[in-house]
């Protein structure tokens, strides 16, 4: 992760005092934390989908009685690391679901180093020298995609599962930066993967 990018933290804490206190501690770090706060779980999925969040700090009391929320968040935002913010003793089985625990009695340095540790564990964003050349199979998929076939039709034609087609498409988009079929068609023409004659104008 580039050093100059702030680390986006979402803090979910019902106590205003605690939320403001932790936010001001993290801002003091002169580090690269950028904290947003909310006091409940109501719009949490929407909010998480809006930004590029790295860490989620949450009071475990909020999820104690609906552990499924946590699991579904983890499934949907797989890069996100979750930290429990505890006031006092808390059931170990619940804390075990989190990647880390911070206590309101932790010092500023302890908190910062715990967060830093989690950040350094995160997978690096695709580095600049990564291969952007499409694999042979990806090129096959792109060819058929550009001629107007659906995922299902491509799967049948190449004798692969629809799931595999989708995963190839994901990789193509990641490598090219282009998501729409019409955009990918232009890419395929530029790269001479298909000719203009083979597409319907």
Binding site for another protein (CB under 8 A): 36-38, 42-43, 46-47, 50-51, 176-180, 182-187, 189-191, 196, 201
Q: Enumerate the β-bridge partners of residue 12.
A: 38, 58
To the nearest whole angstrom, how small is the minimum distance from the Cβ of residue 43 to another protein?
A: 4
Of 3 and 46, CB closest to another protein: 46
Of 31 and 103, CB closest to another protein: 31
Of 35 and 86, CB closest to another protein: 35
The distance in angstroms from the start CA to the end CA of the chain is: 42
Work out whether the CA dihedral 133, 170, 52, 122 comes out positive or negative.
negative
Q: Give the separation between CA 59 and CA 84, rounded to whole angstroms.
A: 6
Of 21 and 51, CB closest to another protein: 51
To the nearest whole angstrom, how small is the minimum distance from the Cβ of residue 28 to another protein?
A: 15
Give 95-136 as a DSSP string: HTTSSEEEETTS-HHHHHHHHHHHHHHSPPPPPTTS--SPPH
To the nearest whole angstrom, how small is the minimum distance from the Cβ of residue 55 to another protein?
A: 15
To the nearest whole angstrom, how small is the minimum distance from the Cβ of residue 198 to another protein?
A: 13
To the nearest whole angstrom, how small is the minimum distance from the Cβ of residue 186 to another protein?
A: 5
Would you state the structure tokens that stand for residue 165, as one six-digit string? 């087609």
Task: Please check whether residue 9 is in contact with residue 33, taking contact to mean a CB–CB distance below 8 angstroms.
Answer: yes
Of 27 and 113, CB closest to another protein: 27
């Amino acid at each position: 992760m580039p050093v100059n990018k702030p680390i986006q933290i979402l803090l979910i804490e019902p106590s205003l005092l605690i939320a403001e206190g932790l936010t001001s501690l993290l801002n003091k770090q002169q580090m690269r934390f950028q904290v947003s706060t909310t006091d409940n779980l109501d719009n949490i999925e929407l909010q998480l989908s809006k930004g590029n969040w790295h860490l989620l700090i949450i009071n475990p009391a909020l999820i104690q009685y609906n552990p499924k929320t946590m699991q579904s968040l983890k499934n949907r935002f797989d890069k996100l690391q979750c930290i429990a913010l505890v006031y006092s003793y808390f059931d170990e089985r619940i804390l075990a679901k989190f990647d880390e625990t911070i206590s309101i009695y932790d010092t500023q340095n302890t908190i910062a180093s715990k967060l830093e540790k989690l950040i350094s564990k995160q997978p690096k964003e695709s580095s600049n020298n990564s291969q952007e050349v499409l694999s042979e199979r990806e090129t096959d998929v792109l060819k058929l995609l550009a001629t107007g076939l659906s995922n299902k039709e491509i799967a049948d034609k190449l004798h692969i599962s629809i799931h595999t087609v989708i995963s190839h498409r994901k990789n193509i988009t990641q490598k090219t930066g282009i998501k729409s079929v019409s955009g990918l068609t232009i890419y395929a023409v530029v790269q001479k993967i298909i000719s203009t004659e083979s597409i319907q104008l």
